[in-house]
Each structure stands twice: as structure tokens, then as C-alpha cells.
Amino acid sequence: MARGGVNKAIVQKAREALLARGENPSIDAVRVELGNTGSKTTIHRYLKELDEVDQRRGAPQQALSDELGELVARLAQRLKEEGEEQIERALAAADADKSELSEQLKASQHALGQLQQQFDIQRSALDTESSELQTCRTTLQAEQTRNARLSQSNQDLEVRLKEKDEQIRSLDEKHLHTRDALEHYRSAIKEQREQEQLRHEGQLQQIQMELRHLQQTLIIKQDELTQLNRDNERLLTEARQQQKGYLDLETVRERQAGEISSLKTLIAQGEGGKQVLLDQVSSLQRDVNELSEALENRSREATELAKELNAVQNSIAKEVDD
């Protein structure tokens, strides 16, 4: 493919310079003389035209028809050379496009490598996040299981408190029955003292037996009160342990507040249950104190009854002496 500045006159000048130096004006020699510029096809065409001119100068004049034939042949040769030149340009353009496409392919492969690296990094980060999420889920499940155990423990404590309430009500009923029996006994003593002095000794023995029975009942009640106090202390200890468990659970909840917010509600409900439990324990303590006061009153009543019995015995003794 001819470049700018390469024409027939320049090729002719280079050819004449080579001939002057006694060198063969070949296509390569002319191209070197031109500074390695110009298409070999173009140089070949110009050299051929110059050779034909030299031949015409040295040959006799030909007929017009021969000249026309020769001209037609040259035109055909020129058309052939121009076609080859166009093919050569097309090949050069194709090579340039190929080189450009090759560069684009390399750039695309480089970009693809970077994208693959980014993908690997993101996939590794995703795997790490998935592992952390699985760990959080496992921790949440463990905390939910622990909270379920704490809830069951609260329910067990409530059941035991209800049982203690039933025991206290039973003791109250027994106390009322004992009081009623004591009142009935006093009435019977009055009637027996007025109506049957002869049976007073037997009645006195019966009263003494009833008194011993009351004393035994009082001892039993005191034992039950002691047991209730022990149960109350144990319940208070369990309540403190429950409160410590809730504090530990609150600490865990603060670390996992972003992922287990529902646990906060459960802990709040547990705190409410704990407060109810503490209120019930306080109520039980008040009931125990009231029962203790009632037992003391009953003991004082038994003492007064013993004094009355002594007075009755003295009265009977005086009546017998009289």
C-alpha cells in the first residue's frame, strides 16, 4: 500500500540514482533508497512503467493498433495491481482490527479476572456471614431453651406456693375447729359444774386429756410453722437464684439485642412473674406471722383454761371439806 509522498516521479528518481551507482534497480533496492517506504506493488508498477517507457524510446514506432493493444494491456495490468493493492489494504485493515480485537479480548479477560476475584472475596464474606448467622441462631435457640426452663421453674414455684396456701387454709380451718371445740368445752364445763359435781373428777380428767391434746396440737402447729419458715427461706433462696438467672439472661440479651429482640419480651414477662412470686412470698410470710400470733393467743387461752381448772378444783375441794 502506497504511503503519502511515494509517486512515479520519486520512484523514477530513486531508480536513476541506483543506475548511476551501477546497482540493479530492483523493488527492494528502490524501497531501501526511498527509506523503506512505499508498497512493493506500487514500486513494482512504477518500475514496470519506467521500463516500458525506456523500451519504447529504444524501439521503432509501432502501429497505432499495437499501441492501443499495449495500452489496454497496461490498463489491465494496472487494474490488477490496484485490485491487489485494495486487497492488501483490506488485509492490513483486517490485521489492525484483529490486533484491536485481541487487545479488547485481553482487557476483557483482565476485567473478568478482577470480577472473579471480587466474586471470590464476596463469596468468602458471604460464607463468613452465613457461619456467624448460624452461630447466632444456635445461641438464640439455646437461650430460648433456657428461658423455657426458667418459665417451667416459675410455674413449679407457683404450684408449690398454691400448695402452701392450701396448707395454710387447712391450718386455719383446724384452728377454727379447735377454737370452736374450746368454746364448746367451756360451755360444757359450766353446765357440768352446775349440774354434776359428782362427775367433776371425771370431767376434770377429761379436761386434762383435752388440754394435753391441745398442747400436742400446739406443738404440731409449731412444727408446721417451723417447716413453713424453712420452706419460706428456701423459696426466698430460689427466688434469689431465679433473679440471678434473669440478670444473667439480661446480660446475654444485651449482647444479642440486634438478633433476639423477642427474648427481651420474655425476660420482661419473667420479671413480672418474679415480682408476683415475691408478692406471694410476702403474703405467705404475713400469713405465717398471723398464724404464729394465733398460736400464741391459743397458748394464752390454754393457760387461762388451766387457771380456770385450778380454780374449779379449789372450789370443789372447799365444797368437799365443807
Q: What is the pLDDT of residue 17?
A: 92
In angstroms, the CA 245 to CA 40 distance is: 98
Q: What is the pLDDT of residue 260?
A: 67
Count Cβ atoms below 10 Å from residue 17 Cβ, excluding itself.
Answer: 14
Alpha-carbon torsion (220, 223, 229, 234), positive or negative: negative
Instruction: Residue 45: name the closest of 16, 70, 12, 20 by CA.
Output: 12
- Upper half-sphere CA count for residue 320 (Cβ side, 13 Å): 10
CB-CB contact of 39 with 88 (8 Å): yes
Number of separate helices (H) and strands (E) present in the chain: 6, 0
Q: What is the pLDDT of residue 254?
A: 73
In angstroms, the CA 86 to CA 76 distance is: 15
Q: What is the pLDDT of residue 13?
A: 92
Q: What is the pLDDT of residue 57?
A: 67
Task: Give, as one character, the DSSP assignment of residue 196.
Answer: -
Instruction: Residue 221: name the closest of 280, 176, 183 by CA.
Output: 176
> What share of the chain in percent tops pLDDT 90?
4
CB-CB contact of 10 with 31 (8 Å): no
Residue bearing the bigger pLDDT, 238 or 118? 118
pLDDT in tens, 143-155: 888 878 887 877 8
In angstroms, the CA 59 to CA 67 distance is: 12
Q: What is the pLDDT of residue 29?
A: 92
pLDDT in tens, 66-105: 667 677 777 777 777 777 777 877 787 777 888 888 888 8
Confidence of residue 123 (pLDDT cuts 50, 70, 90): confident
